[in-house]
Amino acid sequence: MNFNIIQIILIFLVTFVVAIDQFSFLESLYQPIITGPVIGAILGDMQTGLVVGATYQLMTIGNMPVGGAQPPNAIIGGIVAVIFAITSGLSPNAAAAAAIPFALLGQYGVTIIFTLMSPVMSKADQYAKEANPKGIERINYLSMALLGTIFGIIVVLFFIAGSSFGAKLAEKIPETLMHGLGVAGGMMKFVGFAVLLRLMVSKDLWGFFFVGFSLAVIVMANDSLSGSALLIISLIGFALAFWDYQIHLKLKSASVSGGFEGGEEDGI
């Protein structure tokens, strides 16, 4: 694939901003569902970027840091998956699976940044003791610049050195291995949902889960509805959630403002 300096700069800037967003801006700009179409638009194929970004989003939907342990980084993994798909012609599932090693590289990058910045925290404590907010701001800006720069360099180096190599490599990969990558990527989406369910679901919500699953099977079996199946099921899910919210809100209001207490004469 032919690329130019403008694309390289834009990819670096996007990666720089979303890397900072993951830990500082917290606007969810770093999510693959957002970075995918943006990188796709830069590379001239926004539709592929959107599909790959959505696929990778499903894989990482249950990933979250626990203490100092970091999951495979969604920023580098998502962006590299889009680059793989567009420059090498891989399917969305195969591109998402092939990007996992790069996501692990991003994970190590975050750990390195945290390690480098740990000794600086004593300096931040000193600035706080001296009531010097400017010094604390400089430390925060330094950490953000380091993180964004490292992520941007990793992605750009892969884009420059790996895009043409990836295209040639994809042509030589056996069809069985390509199929295996696609199957692995498809399985990872369900693993992501399983992790999310394990963290969020409670015994009171299993009924809603089975209702949603049954509706998905029914809607997908109808060819005329399969194209808009996700939207239909989302609207039904929103209706049920809103109804449940209204019921609980009324019960809470009734318990707070009811205030009726029966007398003792009639046994109430």
The model's pLDDT over 182-225, given as tens digits with 9 standing for 90+, comes to: 566 566 666 666 666 666 667 777 777 788 778 878 877 777 77
In this structure, the answer to whether residues 137 and 231 fall within a common structural domain is: no
- Residue 58 covered by a domain: yes
Residue 172: predicted pLDDT = 57
How far apart, in Å, are the Cα atoms of 235 and each of 208, 230, 238? 14, 9, 5
Q: pLDDT tens digit string along 239-258?
A: 888 888 888 888 777 776 65
Query: With contact defined as beta carbons under 8 Å apart, do 189 and 58 qualify?
Result: yes
Rg over CA atoms, the chain: 24
- Residue 263 covered by a domain: no
Quick check: 10 pLDDT over 90? yes
Alpha carbon distance 131, 122 (integer Å): 14
How far apart, in Å, are the Cα atoms of 142 and each of 20, 68, 73, 116, 136? 11, 20, 21, 11, 10
The whole domain housing 245 covers 203-256
How far apart, in Å, are the Cα atoms of 201 and each of 54, 194, 236, 244, 249? 22, 10, 19, 16, 21
In this structure, the answer to whether residues 132 and 247 fall within a common structural domain is: no
In this structure, the answer to whether residues 140 and 192 fall within a common structural domain is: yes
In this structure, the answer to whether residues 162 and 213 fall within a common structural domain is: no
Residue 178: predicted pLDDT = 54
- Residue 267 covered by a domain: no
In this structure, the answer to whether residues 242 and 163 fall within a common structural domain is: no
- Residue 54 covered by a domain: yes
Write phi, then psi, for 66 (nearest 5 degrees).
Answer: -120, 105
Residue 198: predicted pLDDT = 67
In this structure, the answer to whether residues 130 and 248 fall within a common structural domain is: no
